[in-house]
Amino acid sequence: MEFTTTQTIEILGTIAFAISGSFAAMQRRLDPFGVLIIAFVTSIGGGTVRDMLLGDTPVKWMRDVNYCLLILITSLLTIFFKTHIKKFKITLFLFDSLGLGLFTVLGIQKGIAFGLSPGICIALGTITGCFGGIIRDTLLNTIPLIFRKEIYATACISGGLLYFALLQFNLKADVTKILVIVFIFALRIFVVRYKLALPKFGY
Amino acid sequence: MEFTTTQTIEILGTIAFAISGSFAAMQRRLDPFGVLIIAFVTSIGGGTVRDMLLGDTPVKWMRDVNYCLLILITSLLTIFFKTHIKKFKITLFLFDSLGLGLFTVLGIQKGIAFGLSPGICIALGTITGCFGGIIRDTLLNTIPLIFRKEIYATACISGGLLYFALLQFNLKADVTKILVIVFIFALRIFVVRYKLALPKFGY
Amino acid sequence: MEFTTTQTIEILGTIAFAISGSFAAMQRRLDPFGVLIIAFVTSIGGGTVRDMLLGDTPVKWMRDVNYCLLILITSLLTIFFKTHIKKFKITLFLFDSLGLGLFTVLGIQKGIAFGLSPGICIALGTITGCFGGIIRDTLLNTIPLIFRKEIYATACISGGLLYFALLQFNLKADVTKILVIVFIFALRIFVVRYKLALPKFGY
């Protein structure tokens, strides 16, 4: 079985968000069943909203049961190994940021495949990247860290701009994708670190 | 006018959720107009999300105005007779559980009709059963009883598994449906009763 | 460049909701980036939900990048001129009510174009008018003014009834639209003023 780059990105993103969803749910002390549901919703949320907006239905995960199995196995492994993970919050944050980068690139690519203009593709990438986490936080009723959500979107949009900027250079498509994924991942981590030290500013 | 089993299930589910929505809204002291809207949203929420995910649009209630009339009449009657109902909370809970069973079976059937795999059909049934209640509670800003939501999903998924297990036996299709509806209804009531006595468990 | 009445209504509604979204976000002290996102979501929310329910996808704003540019410019101008606006709350309220009227009429027209029955068209108009504001308030985690939301829906539904009543008279189509827009705008302002003086009534 050979995977294309797009499939690899999709698989890795699905795993990353399934882990982040499982962690978030365990942090809120849901029962194992609840953890599975949150992992599932976090993992498929962004792509589902994207596909519904595009009218590309039945949405992806309904057509390919393998993604559901992947989420199930990832979530079960996360529950199983949770006692070995000490820095809960940081692990959650890292996988969430990784998923953000991966899914944003996926969304942009799908927009390009649908022939949409660059601005719309970036919006689509942002939606794909962010919505899983938004739904997860809404369902878990986490105190709404709008502040954090902003960073979410900012990282995605910046990554999207970088993507279309890189298209001007004759890089290999895969190199562009990987650069953007790393950029979004790094930007979010950098911004969160930086913001934490920054005083709240009114305006 | 003769109804098929599917139509009967759809009508009963619509009525059950319209009643549960009306009760929930009256409990929060909304004005009659607000009660109608919550009844409507609770009743069509699950099917609407299901149809949007499948791309079966315009969604059901837009194509058949009779469902809207049914909800309107049910909701008005509920408002009218509310003074005669003493055990508000229990009545709401019973109709909600009934609607859950009915709509889960409907969702599973629609998944089968679209040729989706069993796991996806169960997910679709769960979505159809749960989303009306989730939207209702979100709009009413009820303190999010994630605990209760979990039972929601657990009951739907268990019912879905039973549905596909029963398909192995050569039961009449209608018998299978009724058994699953009764199972989900009974399971939810049993679990809620049982859980109420159970100490909260961390893990 | 000449605009049809429908396009003019769409443009004005997009502007009105972009302003109302920007104000609401500034009131909650979001950073400029967050303000843009809330302006965007408020402006396209209603139409997006409408198009997804109808299956008219990819949704409108994805096919026409001009709406996104319009929202961007409106939002930037709002941020820029905010210091000159003293009555923040009232300005927000007025533009919100204006957008409500404009988008409700748009939704009704689209329902008619899809050959839906009058009741469904009114529901579609209500959804188009209300959803941008609902999503905005949910994202901003504003204390859920269900009370205010009810007025939202009441104004839209009343306007919708008026629309179909006016169709009985042989008015010019544009006159009907403008009358309904003004009616919804005026009704909401009137009702809010009136309700503010009204004692909370339980029932």
* Average pLDDT of chain C to the nearest whole number: 84
- The answer on pLDDT for B40 being more than 80 is yes
Asked if A58 reaches chain C (Cβ–Cβ under 8 Å), the answer is no
* Average pLDDT of chain B to the nearest whole number: 84
Q: Is A150 within 8 Å of C33 when comparing Cβ atoms?
A: yes
Separation CA C141–CA C34 (nearest Å): 14
Q: Is C28 within 8 Å of A146 when comparing Cβ atoms?
A: yes
Can you give chain B as a three-state secondary structure string? CCCCHHHHHHHHHHHHHHHHHHHHHHHCCCCHHHHHHHHHHHHHHHHHHHHHHHCCCCCHHHHCHHHHHHHHHHHHHHHHHHHHCCCHHHHHHHHHHHHHHHHHHHHHHHHHHCCCCHHHHHHHHHHHHHHHHHHHHHHHCCCCCHHHHHHHHHHHHHHHHHHHHHCCCCCCHHHHHHHHHHHHHHHHHHHHHHHHHCCCCCC
Over residues B34-50, the mean pLDDT reads: 90
Q: Is A117 within 8 Å of C141 when comparing Cβ atoms?
A: no
Joined tokens for residue A152: 């979410």
Q: Given this model, what pLDDT does residue C202 score?
A: 44
Q: Is C120 within 8 Å of B30 when comparing Cβ atoms?
A: no
Percent of chain B with pLDDT over 90: 42
Residue of C151, C40, C159 whose CA lies nearest to C106:
C159
Helix boundaries (H) for chain A:
5-27, 32-54, 60-63, 65-81, 88-113, 118-139, 146-166, 173-197
Length in residues, chain C: 203
Over residues B164-173, the mean pLDDT reads: 88
Joined tokens for residue A159: 């990554």
3-class DSSP state of A114: coil
Q: Given this model, what pLDDT does residue B153 score?
A: 79
Q: Largest Cα–Cα distance of chain A, in whole Å?
A: 54
Least Cα separation, residue B29 to chain C (angstroms) = 6
Q: How many CB atoms lie within 10 A of CB B115?
A: 10
Which residues in A lie closer than 8 A to residue B117 (C-beta atoms)?
65
Q: Is A146 within 8 Å of C34 when comparing Cβ atoms?
A: yes
Over residues A72-92, the mean pLDDT reads: 82
Asked if C202 reaches chain A (Cβ–Cβ under 8 Å), the answer is no
Q: Given this model, what pLDDT does residue A52 score?
A: 92
Over residues B95-99, the mean pLDDT reads: 89
Interface with C, mutate which of B31, B80, B138 (most C CBs under 10 A):
B31
Separation CA B102–CA B133 (nearest Å): 13
Q: Is A123 within 8 Å of C37 when comparing Cβ atoms?
A: no
- Of C53, C201, C202, which has the smallest distance from its Cβ to B62's Cβ? C53
Please enumerate in sequence order all residues whose Cβ is within 8 A of that of B114, keeping only pairs 6 or more positions apart, or say none: A58, B54, B56
Joined tokens for residue C8: 């003019």
Q: Given this model, what pLDDT does residue A50 score?
A: 93
Nearest CA in chain C to B61: C120
Q: Given this model, what pLDDT does residue A190 score?
A: 84
Separation CA A193–CA A190 (nearest Å): 5
Q: Given this model, what pLDDT does residue C86 score?
A: 67
Separation CA B132–CA B13 (nearest Å): 11
Q: Given this model, what pLDDT does residue A198 score?
A: 40
Which residues in B lie closer than 8 A to residue A37 (C-beta atoms)?
150, 153
Joined tokens for residue A17: 């968000």
Interface with A, mutate which of C29, C30, C35, C37 (most A CBs under 10 A):
C37
Model confidence at A91, in pLDDT bands (50, 70, 90)? confident
- What does the pLDDT look like over A11-64, one tens digit per residue? 999 999 999 999 888 888 777 777 888 899 999 999 999 999 999 988 888 888
Asked if C120 reaches chain B (Cβ–Cβ under 8 Å), the answer is yes
- Of A54, A117, A146, which has the smallest distance from its Cβ to C30's Cβ? A146
Size of interface A-C (CB pairs under 8 A): 54
- What does the pLDDT look like over A142-176, one tens digit per residue? 644 544 555 777 888 899 999 999 998 888 888 99
Which residues in C lie closer than 8 A to residue A202 (C-beta atoms)?
29
**ipTM, interface predicted TM-score of the complex:** 0.78
Which residues in C lie closer than 8 A to residue A114 (C-beta atoms)?
58
- Of C30, C31, C58, which has the smallest distance from its Cβ to A54's Cβ? C58
Per-residue pLDDT of chain C (203 residues; tens, 9 = 90+): 677 888 889 899 999 999 999 988 888 877 777 788 889 999 999 999 999 999 998 888 888 888 889 999 999 999 888 777 767 778 888 888 899 999 999 999 999 999 999 989 999 999 999 888 888 877 776 644 544 555 777 888 899 999 999 998 888 888 999 999 999 999 888 877 776 434 333 44
Between these two residues, B134 and A68, which has the higher pLDDT value? A68
Model confidence at B198, in pLDDT bands (50, 70, 90)? very low
Domain residue spans of chain B: 5-197
Quick check: C14 and C43 in contact, CB under 8 A? yes
Asked if A61 reaches chain B (Cβ–Cβ under 8 Å), the answer is yes
Helix (H) or strand (E) holding C141: none
Separation CA C60–CA C64 (nearest Å): 6
Asked if A139 reaches chain B (Cβ–Cβ under 8 Å), the answer is yes
- Written as one letter, the residue type at B33 is F
Over residues A175-195, the mean pLDDT reads: 87
Least Cα separation, residue B199 to chain C (angstroms) = 32
- Of C52, C123, C150, which has the smallest distance from its Cβ to B33's Cβ? C150
Which residues in B lie closer than 8 A to residue A33 (C-beta atoms)?
150, 153-154, 157
Residue of B56, B73, B81, B63 whose CA lies nearest to B14:
B73
- What does the pLDDT look like over B140-163, one tens digit per residue? 766 445 445 557 778 888 999 999
> Peptide bond before C199: cis, by omega within 30 degrees of 0?
no
Q: Given this model, what pLDDT does residue C149 score?
A: 54
Which of residues 21 through 50 in chain A touch B, CB cutoff 8 A? 26, 28-34, 37, 48
- What does the pLDDT look like over C71-91, one tens digit per residue? 999 999 998 887 777 677 788
- The answer on pLDDT for A85 being more than 80 is no
- Written as one letter, the residue type at C89 is K
Asked if A73 reaches chain B (Cβ–Cβ under 8 Å), the answer is no
- The answer on pLDDT for A93 being more than 80 is yes
